[in-house]
Amino acid sequence: MRITSIKAYPVNIPYKKPFVITGGASAVGDHVLVRLETDTDVVGYGEAAPMTSYSDETQNDILNAINKYLAPAVIGCDPFDLEEIHSRMARALPGHHFSRAAIDLALYDVQGKALGLPAYKLMGGCVRDRIPMAWVVGMGTIDEMVAEAVEHVRRYGFKTVKLKIGRDPRKDLEVVRLVRQALGPDVKIRVDANQGYDVATAIRTLRKMEEYDLELIEQPVPRHNLLGMAEVAAALDTPIEADESMFDQFEAMTLIRLKACDIINIKIMKPGGLYPSKKVAALCEAAGISCLVGSMVEFGLGTAAGLHFAASTPAVEHACEPVGGFLYAGDVVQEDFSLSAVVDGCLPVPQKPGLGVTLKPEYQTIW
Ligand SMILES: [Mg+2]
């Protein structure tokens, strides 16, 4: 089996309401879909999900990277030769992990469809068939954030809530205090500062916040300040999670060696797709670091891929966050990843071959 063509296409879908984090607000998901054709009748689809307040790549960067560099480097390869394909992509264009991820996802879609197996069967098989999810509360007023957390726990059964913090320590403390008061002791609360504090502010603020029983504290200080992450981790009792500080297995290794985190957030976009994400998970397993599958707020293709990864990765021990289906006003796939698909706070793992999703008719004709 050989790859005969890779096409990339921009797709923009608005959020139901702007999603606000420390770095800025997103009103529209400006993503890229990939169609990977082979010399058989099997076709695979992938997605890259950049976010300008977070990632190094934009939608236009990704279109250019795939069309000009990555596709020419891998056309002719066997779609099962993942090591060779990833090595060719890395040589053709260093960095650009999200661009590579779109192709990696399409490769798993092709492999699964060719074999008649869901993608998780190609990544170690099933360790869980439904994925506990966290509800992620973006920044808003204190009242808005508390009301949103309470509503989603009550209506949909989420057992974990994540609160975006990092711009205003006093407000952050008040939000966490009131959410804990409203939800009681049994719901897990995690916070994500998205790099918003300096080390001193992080230690001072988060020590007070620990009083409200946090499950974990995500990326308290800037991405490159790994020693600062280690200082915060040493100063607090609550587990510290690395998100922006971990974009690939090499950064994961450095975080582990520096004792800079207790948990790693594996968003499948960051290391360049599912295959390199498995390498990160293996390092974590060996180091005694637990993981969760975070979200670049992907559309349905990326969301499905995240669910397959969580389904097949034992190191994923915490509620996950492939929340794109909850937050967008539409989707590119026919399958439902919206709040109405949530049962008891969990999303089911797709079971059809490949990524287990089918593009809506209007996205099947764009190529
Ligand atoms: Mg994060």
CA of 296 to the centre of ligand 1 (A): 9
Rounded CA-CA distance 38/75 in Å is 9
- Give the chain's radius of gyration (CA, Å): 20
Length of the chain: 367
Query: Active-site residues: which are they?
Result: 164, 267
User: Closest Cα to residue 236, out of 201, 194, 206?
Assistant: 206
CA of 189 to the centre of ligand 1 (A): 14
* Residue 52 clears pLDDT 90, i.e. is over it: no
Q: What single-letter amino acid sits at 359?
A: L
State pLDDT tens for residues 140-185. Answer: 999 999 999 999 999 999 999 999 999 999 999 999 999 999 999 9
pLDDT at 244: 97
Rounded CA-CA distance 134/157 in Å is 10
State pLDDT tens for residues 300-329. Answer: 999 999 999 999 999 999 999 999 999 999
Q: What single-letter amino acid sits at 36?
A: L
What protein residues have CB closer than 5 angstroms to ion ligand 1? 192, 218, 243
State pLDDT tens for residues 77-114. Answer: 999 999 999 999 999 999 999 999 999 999 999 999 99
- The pTM assigned to this predicted structure is 0.97
CA of 258 to the centre of ligand 1 (A): 20
CA of 130 to the centre of ligand 1 (A): 22
Tell me if 205 sits within 8 A of 197, measured CB to CB. Answer: yes
CA of 192 to the centre of ligand 1 (A): 6
State pLDDT tens for residues 208-262. Answer: 999 999 999 999 999 999 999 999 999 999 999 999 999 999 999 999 999 999 9
User: Closest Cα to residue 15, out of 245, 330, 273, 362?
Assistant: 330
- For residue 199, what are its two tokens? 């080390």
Domains in the chain: ranges and CATH: 3-116 (3.30.390.10), 121-348 (3.20.20.120)
Non-local (6+) Cβ contacts of 241 within 8 A are 190, 216, 217, 218, 219, 261, 262, 263, 264, 265, 292
